[in-house]
């Protein structure tokens, strides 16, 4: 099969489109024929890209852990799915990812693909949708009577977070560039701040929750945008490697979740949630999209692996 693999080291990474063997599903595993995957900026800097679960150096990792595709083969003693099922999901950060014709996953990492969208649209959901869900509800404990400030509202995670927070009834404020103001409003943001022109903490001081998708200075300034007892949750790549205890306490890494993927699919199929694809890149151009992900539109860059 064709697979994109990472070479070099953190900060000096290159990628190559290689020809390698199709993996075999072991007990408890499922082999997916990948139709599409998506690019999350920052993956080349994540520790899991360069280290195994036991902390040993990791070589030639296949990146991009979210996918939409079809079950090709089910390993022994593996329940819940059968060959031909259309599924989407997020596999383990320590497994080889989905920038390949096939990838391995497990039943707890996947769910039935949303029926009303195609594989390319479904592929941008698992990481961004699950991250937004877990940040807002699992870590942020957001309720429908609260106010949330979402940084980076036009990005992959931000575009899901605005929609999910608005769906619960919360008051949604967000920060975006000038060009994305109308886009953020169309997703349900009630207060849109152009972060190039306005310091968000001058405008918002009473948030119950701030979702920091940017990191660094934005995290620290966000502490001035919450009311007493409020909370900041961060997912930014720069927040992973810091020693600052406040940032560490606010940081989490998204986890696969079949129930949450099932709920996201339901929200998509009922028209409540809209996945935003900023661009569709063919596998042949994947290296460029992955090494220097420059977006020209809001949402997330999808990688088409199989032309349907
Ligand atoms: N911890 C986890 O589990 C996890 C999961 C997913 C992603 N991540 C990380 O989270 C970050 C965001 O991911 P993503 O996929 O949403 O990235 P993305 O699609 O590139 O979105 C980032 C957005 O941030 C905005 N932005 C840049 N500087 C800003 C600032 N100073 N203030 C407000 N907004 C700003 C940009 O908006 P404009 O275009 O409007 O300027 C851009 O759309 C990345 O670092 C990624 O690696 C972590």
The CATH number given to 2-125+275-304 is 3.90.180.10
Cα 134 from Cα 198, distance rounded (Å): 28
* % of the chain exceeding 70 in pLDDT: 99
In this structure, which residue's CA is closest to atom 37 in ligand 1? 152
Mean pLDDT of the region 45-62: 92
Here the tokens at position 227 are 């009311």
The pLDDT of residue 114 is: 98
Here the tokens at position 291 are 């090494």
In this structure, which residue's CA is closest to atom 35 in ligand 1? 152
Pairing of strands 12-19, 2-9: antiparallel
Mean pLDDT of the region 101-110: 98
| Residue 218 CA, closest ligand 1 atom number | 31
Q: Could you tell which of 10, 90, 152 is best to mutate to test the pocket of ligand 1, judged by most ligand atoms within 8 Å of the CB? A: 152
Three-class secondary structure of residue 22 per DSSP: coil
Q: Could you tell which of 213, 234, 299 is best to mutate to test the pocket of ligand 1, judged by most ligand atoms within 8 Å of the CB? A: 213
Give how far Cα 176 sits from Cα of 130, 136, 151, 173, 181, Å: 21, 18, 7, 10, 6
Give the tens place of pLDDT for each residue, 156-167: 999 999 999 999
- How would residue 238 be classed by pLDDT, with cut points 50, 70 and 90? confident
Same topology, domains 2-125+275-304 and 128-250? Answer is no
In this structure, which residue's CA is closest to atom 36 in ligand 1? 152
Mean pLDDT of the region 232-250: 92
Neighbours of 139 (CB within 10 A): 18
The pLDDT of residue 296 is: 82
How far does residue 2's CA lie from ligand 1's centre (Å)? 29
- How would residue 289 be classed by pLDDT, with cut points 50, 70 and 90? confident
Give, in words, the CATH class of 128-250.
Answer: alpha beta
Mean pLDDT of the region 32-39: 97
Cα 132 from Cα 118, distance rounded (Å): 21
Here the tokens at position 14 are 């290159």
Residues with C-beta less than 6 Å from any ligand 1 atom: 40-42, 127-128, 131, 151-152, 154-158, 175-177, 180, 195, 213-214, 218, 235-237, 253-254, 300
> For residue 293, is pLDDT > 90?
no
The pLDDT of residue 241 is: 82
| Residue 45 CA, closest ligand 1 atom number | 47
> For residue 262, is pLDDT > 80?
yes
Q: Could you tell which of 39, 63, 155, 279 is best to mutate to test the pocket of ligand 1, judged by most ligand atoms within 8 Å of the CB? A: 155
Please compute, for residue 200, the number of CA atoms within 13 A of its CA located in the half-sphere on the CB side. Answer: 31
Q: What angle do CA 266, 271, 275 make, to 5 degrees?
A: 85
Mean pLDDT of the region 283-295: 80
Neighbours of 112 (CB within 10 A): 17
In the beta sheet, which residues pair with residue 37? 67, 303
Neighbours of 194 (CB within 10 A): 15
The pLDDT of residue 2 is: 95
The residue extents of the domains of the chain are 2-125+275-304, 128-250
Give how far Cα 226 sits from Cα of 154, 165, 235, 246, 270, Å: 21, 16, 17, 14, 33
How far does residue 125's CA lie from ligand 1's centre (Å)? 15
Neighbours of 190 (CB within 10 A): 14
The pLDDT of residue 292 is: 75
- Of 27, 7, 4, whose CA–CA distance to 103 is shortest? 4
> For residue 36, is pLDDT > 90?
yes
> Rounded mean pLDDT of the chain?
95
CB 49 within 8 A of CB 10: yes
How far does residue 175's CA lie from ligand 1's centre (Å)? 11
| Residue 41 CA, closest ligand 1 atom number | 47
């Amino acid at each position: 099969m064709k697979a994109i693999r990472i070479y070099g080291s953190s900060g000096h990474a290159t990628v190559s489109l290689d020809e390698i063997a199709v993996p075999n599903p072991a007990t408890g595993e499922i082999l997916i024929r990948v139709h599409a995957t998506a690019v999350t900026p920052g993956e080349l800097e994540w520790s899991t890209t360069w280290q195994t679960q036991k902390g040993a150096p990791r070589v030639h990792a296949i990146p991009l852990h979210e996918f939409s595709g079809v079950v090709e083969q089910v390993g022994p003693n593996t329940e819940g799915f059968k060959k031909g099922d259309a599924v989407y999901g997020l596999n383990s950060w320590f497994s080889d990812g989905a920038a390949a014709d096939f990838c391995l996953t497990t039943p707890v990492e996947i769910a039935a693909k949303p029926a009303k969208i195609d594989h390319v649209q479904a592929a941008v959901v698992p990481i961004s949708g699950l991250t937004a869900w877990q940040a807002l509800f699992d870590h942020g404990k957001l309720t429908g009577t609260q106010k949330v400030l979402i940084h980076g509202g036009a990005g992959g995670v931000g575009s899901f977070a605005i929609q999910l927070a608005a769906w619960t009834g919360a008051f949604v404020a967000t920060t975006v560039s000038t060009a994305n103001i109308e886009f953020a409003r169309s997703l349900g943001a009630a207060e849109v701040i152009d972060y190039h022109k306005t310091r968000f903490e001058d405008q918002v001081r009473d948030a119950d929750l701030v979702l920091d998708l940017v990191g660094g200075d934005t995290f620290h300034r966000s502490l001035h945008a919450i009311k007493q007892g409020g909370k900041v949750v961060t997912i930014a790549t720069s927040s992973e490697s810091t020693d600052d205890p406040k940032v560490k306490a606010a940081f989490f890494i998204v986890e696969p979740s079949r129930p949450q993927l099932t709920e996201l699919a339901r929200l998509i199929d009922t028209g409540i949630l809209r996945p935003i694809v900023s661009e569709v890149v063919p596998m042949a151009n994947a290296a460029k999209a992955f090494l220097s992900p420059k977006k020209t539109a809001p949402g997330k860059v999808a990688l088409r692996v199989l032309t349907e």
